[in-house]
Amino acid sequence: MTRRLAALALVAVLLAVPVSPAAAALADRVGATFALMSDDLLKIFEPIEGLVVAIDGDEIFLDLHAGQGAQVGQEYTIFRKGETFAHPLTGRVLGRYEDVLGYAQVRRVHERFSTAVFLPREDAPPPRVGDGARITRARLRVAVTPMLDLTTQDHDLRRVPFMLAAGLRETKRFQVVDPLAVVDAFASGSVRVEEVLARPDRAVRAARNLDVVGWVVPILIERRGVTYLDVTYVSAVTGAAIFSRRLPVVPSSELEEQRFPWEPRPED
């Protein structure tokens, strides 16, 4: 129920900004289509914590399975707990120091464990059994790239990144960089949207200037007369794609049905 309400809220946010219907019809449809992907996107980033239980070369095994929320494509921070630290006056233990060792991308989810590829952090020690694996509970700071239109039509989709950014903020799981700052970064020519998708080193490097952990990349494509929205989440830590969904852009009639789902039907 919570995710359903979040999806409805996302639809409302994505469609709330008034604009010329003729100029924004497709942009609104793209926004509504993205709202339909929100549940799947949120599931990938649900907070979860486990342990490294075995290591085999660059492959590590985690005590996390589907029942706990583990999914193929997730990216975990692998860390090692250090000494505790305490309040200087009361002596009460407040927490532990942690060393980030690298990152693990899940490749297979089994009945009782998951298998992941380990991506080491520079100058960090290798992982060992008992180290922690986590998807943080903190909001994830991300950036939405300009829309990549691969159709043959001349669409005005400049509003799309702003709509997607507003929708992501509404989920309360993401902190989103101002799309104007992102547009400026791409307008400078230092990086292109295609490079974020195809060149991990460029995706990581460009992310440093914006201080983000991920890129949300919307693409519009056309196949056999059908227009699709393709959304890929690219890790700004490793440059790897860890989420990808493609859906046909919703028709205008369905858009109207979603626009105000709490209102009674006109004939009522």
Give the mean model confidence (pLDDT) for residues 216-236: 94
* pLDDT attached to residue 189: 81
For 155-179, letters b (16+ CB in 10 Å) and e give: bebebbbbbbbbbbebbebbebbeb
pLDDT classification of 94: cutoffs 50, 70, 90: confident
* pLDDT attached to residue 23: 43
Assess whether pLDDT exceeds 50 at residue 59.
yes
Which of 66, 101, 135 delimits the end of a domain? 135
* pLDDT attached to residue 261: 46
What is the Cα–Cα distance from 54 to 18, expressed in whole angstroms?
54
* pLDDT attached to residue 234: 96
Q: Are residues 30 and 65 in the same domain?
A: no
Provide the CATH number for the domain around residue 70: 2.40.10.410
What is the model's pTM?
0.81
Assess whether pLDDT exceeds 70 at residue 206.
yes
What is the Cα–Cα distance from 214 to 203, expressed in whole angstroms?
9
266 within some domain: no
* pLDDT attached to residue 262: 39
β-strand partners of 49: 134
Assess whether pLDDT exceeds 50 at residue 22.
no
Q: What is the pLDDT of residues 131-141, one digit of tens each?
A: 999 999 999 99
What is the Cα–Cα distance from 100 to 238, expressed in whole angstroms?
14
pLDDT classification of 118: cutoffs 50, 70, 90: very high
Provide the CATH number for the domain around residue 172: 3.40.50.10610
**DSSP sequence for 209-241:** HHT-SEEEEEEEEEETTEEEEEEEEEETTT--E
Assess whether pLDDT exceeds 90 at residue 54.
yes
Give the percent of the chain with pLDDT over 90: 66
Give the mean model confidence (pLDDT) for residues 221-248: 93
Which of 135, 152, 181 delimits the end of a domain? 135
